[in-house]
Amino acid sequence: MKIYGLIGYPVRHSYSSAMHNAAFQALGVDARYELFEIKPEQLEQEFNRLLTQGICGFNVTIPYKEKVIKLLGQLDEQAALIGAVNTIQVNQDKSTIGFNTDGPGFITHLKQVVGFNTEGKGVAILGAGGAAKAVALELARNKVKAISLFDLDQDKTQALADKIEENFPACALSLGASANDLLKIHPDLLINATPLGMHKDDPLVFDPGLLERNLVVYDLVYNPAQTPLLRAAKSKGCSGVFNGLGMLLYQGVLAFKIWLDVEPPVEVMQNALTQMLT
């Protein structure tokens, strides 16, 4: 039996095993996806142990998406640009290649399922951490016209803006001084890439009066399925309102494709995720 899995700390709340195990079963693949919780001081040792034991591929989550890079043989172009890895392919000779399917997973869902054509659009992103970086660079690659960023940490915001500017000079950038500033430029798409909304008492950091009807609102948070931002967007009649489940699904679909080189059973994977969340 082939073994795949997720490394991170903590990992026990992850839905990835349900999604990938359902896909293995649906395709009759003799494989299992396991969760490997690894303490920070043991990352290198445990990573090498899993390779020696014959693991075929990994996902990587917090806090190792950046730290794992130094343990890898190769990085694909997107992972190198983002500076973070969420998927690792292990070859038969145990050499490793790191990928990042977070940005492409988001874009696949946005374009193919939401039906949002990115070309020439204006995007506002709250947050400049790992997920924001993956999503923003992928949006710039997909020819959005302008990106506006705001994070509480100005150094992170500036570093992400510099990276986009350097690699995608046709994309105009602006840095907001507050969350509301992001909406004052009348974007087509608003993305929450902060953890705000994960906890019951998290505040809505946007003035709901600024949420326009033609705005598509995409919250990367998927648990809970309804966040204060998504509730406000719905009540204001925004033209599209989406949580992060689609991104979670498609980053997994793309990882599965990298590992097995077969067409993943998307519907099966989606049903497995939906069941976990209900």
Which residues does the annotation mark as catalytic? 65
CA pair distance 252, 24, nearest whole angstrom: 12
Does residue 195 bind ligand NAP (CB under 6 A)? Answer: yes
Q: Which residue is nearest to ligand NAP (CB)?
A: 129
Looking at the DSSP bridge assignments, the partners of residue 266 are none
Does residue 152 bind ligand NAP (CB under 6 A)? Answer: yes
Task: Give the interface size with ligand NAP as a residue count (CB under 6 A).
Answer: 27
Pick out residues in 35-74 that bind ligand NAP (CB under 6 A).
none
Does residue 190 bind ligand NAP (CB under 6 A)? Answer: no
CA distances from 66 to 7, 100, 273 (A): 12, 11, 26
Does residue 128 bind ligand NAP (CB under 6 A)? Answer: yes
Looking at the DSSP bridge assignments, the partners of residue 32 are 3
Instruction: Give every CB contact of residue 156 below 8 A, 6+ residues apart in sequence.
Output: 128, 129
Does residue 127 bind ligand NAP (CB under 6 A)? Answer: yes
CA pair distance 275, 95, nearest whole angstrom: 35
Looking at the DSSP bridge assignments, the partners of residue 180 are none
The residue among 188, 275, 166 whose CA lies nearest residue 238 is 188
Sole binder of ligand NAP in the list 8, 130, 176, 187 (CB under 6 A):
130
CA pair distance 31, 28, nearest whole angstrom: 9
Smallest gap from residue 6 Cβ to ligand NAP (A): 13
Among 41-49, 117-125, 190-198, 256-264, the segment contacting ligand NAP (CB under 6 A):
190-198
CB-nearer residue toward ligand NAP: 196 or 216? 196
The pair of three-digit structure tokens given for residue 252, joined into one six-digit string = 């997994």
Sole binder of ligand NAP in the list 107, 190, 205, 241 (CB under 6 A):
205
CA pair distance 246, 273, nearest whole angstrom: 10
Sole binder of ligand NAP in the list 88, 232, 248, 254 (CB under 6 A):
248
Binding residues for ligand NAP (CB under 6 A): 102, 126-132, 150-153, 156, 179, 193-196, 198, 205, 220-222, 244, 247-248, 251
